[in-house]
Structure 1
Amino acid sequence: MTKKAFVTGGTGFIGANLIHLLVQQGYTVKALVRPSSPLNNLRDLDIEIVKGDLKKPNLWQHMVGCQVLFHVAAHYSLWQADCNALYCNNVLGTQNVLAAARQAGIDRTVYTSSVAAIGVKEGGIADETYQSPLDKLVGHYKKSKYLAEQVAIEAAKRNQDVVIVNPSSPIGPFDIKPTPTGDIILRFLRRQMPFYLNTGLNFVDVRDVAWGHLLALEKGKTGDRYILGNQNLTLKEILDKLSEITGIPAPQKTVPAWLPLSVAWIDENLLAPLGKAPSVPLDGVRMAQQTMYYDPSKAVRELGLPQTPIETALKDAVDWFKKNFELRDINE
């Protein structure tokens, strides 16, 4: 019998790739989307759209008839002024979605957390057993994702079948917003990166992340979390790979951390209250001062998480951005 999946956050980067995969794998899909969200990523897909947000009253009624839930939606912002929206959507929204799933009789839920909820292991590589204390997590986004993950863990303890996945920094097509990782690629393509910060991240093909959700549904242990990642690379290594793919020269000079920190502090604390839109988030700069490396071997071993080469993900991301964004500075 064809399974019916309810998906939140389906218009976003991970959600869109997941819905495309679910449709390819024969699932019937029902997607919750905000009325203001563009549907470009879901164009031409035979799915059912439900308009609303994570706090939609009687959300459970829309889930009736679905066997599985993928709760992918989250509010992402590094601006300190957005802290209330982060906790409201990510924490309270997750509470409402999981309560609706219980009421609707959903058999199994995959909750999309983030490595942001795990935190950073100073001088090392974090796995699922590591957890930064809440007060050590940089910024309200990370704190809200940690608290939302605790909601999912508590639901599992109350015998709700919930599996948790923690994507790292995905790369690939459908990065419509774009995400911070996509923004790096986009600014590189537009030749807007004369300098770089000495930082590092774990990168993964977004289509592997989509598969990780489906594999977690099939093989994941209730209440467990799985890091959906691949390769730990410095920002300089990513920029060099982008240079090899595009022929655009990679920046060769670093920028001292105090400079973007100063700009961000002025932006958020002095100019934003006067009505100027800030350009550099302070929490984003503070995060970039940490090397955010993770170990995905548990998901590879227990779920069979694919490990597509990062070069493939970067090339496909570049191709997608060229087709979907204005890139006047590229020499074709």
Structure 2
Amino acid sequence: MRAFVTGGTGFLGANLIEQLLADGWQVIAMHRRGSNTNRLQQQGVELVEASLADVDSLRIAMPENPDAVFHLAANTNLWRGGNAQQWRDNVEGSANIARVARETFARSKTAGRLIATSSIGAYGYQSGRIDERSPKLADDPRHGYLYTKKRAEEAVRAEIERGLDAVFLNPCAIVGKYDTSSWAQTFFLMEKDQLPGVPPGKGSFCYVGSVARAHIDAFHKGRCGENYILAGRDASFLEFFGRIAALLGKPAPKRAMPAFVIHAVGWFSDLWSIASGCEPVITREKAAMVTKRVVASSDKAVRELGYQTDTDLDTMLRECYDWLVEQKLLKASA
């Protein structure tokens, strides 16, 4: 089996490629100029340089007869100063890769399939537990990440209408090894005693190994045009950060910061960014994300893909912590 992967240098991409190789797949990983490809080179992955913004470069990079295209690349910016680039990366980029995948599958006459990694963010903020029947409410352009993830799905659906076979996966908050920019940042801040406070939100946390496996299972078992939400263990940020503190040998935070304080910081920080042109640590988008309750159900993915939700929060966080220590990005706690 031959897989073409975008976003292979990222957190989830590294875990997916590791599992694809273990299953005997041939992997061709697309990367942008300047990306760190050391891990992929060590794994013997075939590397191709291309840009999601350049359809011609995608056509050159795409192998002639791929069985699967795993589109993981995404811009996760949470600051309005990056919204224009985020639209190009997430929406126009998804449209381009879907178009090239459809053309390639048609030309090679293979029964190829695109697995599009979306996000629970495409459903927007909702008060109840989200499942695939929930409306997608990410329609406020001020929340650029959520807004573009919904429209990235719509761009891929336009190619489904032209004959593309594609499946959508919507992970929640992913935790595990190879993370340096997501929840790993919380480890770094807490290790240095620089965490300004614990947000009052709540989320569904999913294990990266299970999310990666769900991508492969979606290729084999998913239904064209369907969404599959990948959740896991529900926890408040107070509980989540407390477990990170325990791994680091730090005192557990005792209370969450009021939501209005975080929103006020985000609002004033955004005003400052207009003058400075620099992204603030807390933006209004980040403030919204960490003060909301975003919990979801994986029942459909469990039923149709065999998605595994049995990894507990401590195991997810321990894997992330152990890998960061192994890479000398964190000091081992006493």
Q: Percent same amino acid among aligned pairs? A: 30
C-alpha distance in 1 between matches for 2:168 and 2:192: 36
Deviation, 1:119, is 1.8
Listed one character per residue, the Cα deviations across residues 124-172 of structure 1 (whole Å, up to 9, x for unaligned) are 1000111243435760111000000111223223331001101111101
Mark the CA change 1:13 to 1:187 in structure 2 (over 3 Å): closer, same or farther: same
Corresponding residue of 1:56: 54
Give yes or no for the alignment of 1:317 onto 2:320.
yes
Corresponding residue of 1:31: 29
C-alpha distance in 2 between matches for 1:227 and 1:134: 16
SS in 1 for 2:293: coil
Deviation, 1:299, is 0.5
C-alpha distance in 2 between matches for 1:137 and 1:252: 35
Give yes or no for the alignment of 1:168 onto 2:166.
no
C-alpha distance in 1 between matches for 2:27 and 2:104: 16
Corresponding residue of 2:19: 21
Deviation, 1:67, is 1.8
Listed one character per residue, the Cα deviations across residues 39-95 of structure 1 (whole Å, up to 9, x for unaligned) are 244251111101122123421232213221001101110010111011111000011
Deviation, 1:116, is 0.5
Corresponding residue of 2:125: 120
Corresponding residue of 2:82: 82
Deviation, 1:256, is 2.0
C-alpha distance in 1 between matches for 2:199 and 2:61: 45
Corresponding residue of 1:4: 2
Listed one character per residue, the Cα deviations across residues 182-202 of structure 1 (whole Å, up to 9, x for unaligned) are 322332333333631111011
Q: Which amino acid aligns with 2:73?
A: A
Aligned length: 326
Mark the CA change 1:322 to 1:154 in structure 2 (over 3 Å): closer, same or farther: same
Q: Which amino acid aligns with 1:309?
A: D
Mark the CA change 1:28 to 1:49 in structure 2 (over 3 Å): closer, same or farther: same
Q: Is 197-206 or 234-243 further displaced after alignment?
A: 234-243
Out of 195, 199, 202, the position equivalent to 1:200 is: 202
**Superposition pairs of residues 249-328 of structure 1, within 5 angstroms:** 249-307=251-309, 308-324=311-327, 326-327=329-330
Mark the CA change 1:183 to 1:137 in structure 2 (over 3 Å): closer, same or farther: farther
Give yes or no for the alignment of 1:93 onto 2:98.
no
Listed one character per residue, the Cα deviations across residues 274-309 of structure 1 (whole Å, up to 9, x for unaligned) are 345422121110222210101011111110011222
**Superposition pairs of residues 38-49 of structure 1, within 5 angstroms:** 38-49=36-47
Q: Which amino acid aligns with 1:114?
A: S
Corresponding residue of 1:111: 116
Give TM-score, length-normalised by structure 1. Answer: 0.92
Q: Which amino acid aligns with 2:131?
A: D
Q: Pairwise CA RMSD of aligned residues?
A: 1.9
What stretches of structure 1 of length at least 5 have no aligned partner?
none
Listed one character per residue, the Cα deviations across residues 201-238 of structure 1 (whole Å, up to 9, x for unaligned) are 11011111100100100100000010112111111121
**Superposition pairs of residues 232-243 of structure 1, within 5 angstroms:** 232-243=234-245
Q: Which amino acid aligns with 2:98?
A: L
SS in 1 for 2:294: coil
Q: Which amino acid aligns with 2:270?
A: E
Mark the CA change 1:52 to 1:217 in structure 2 (over 3 Å): closer, same or farther: same
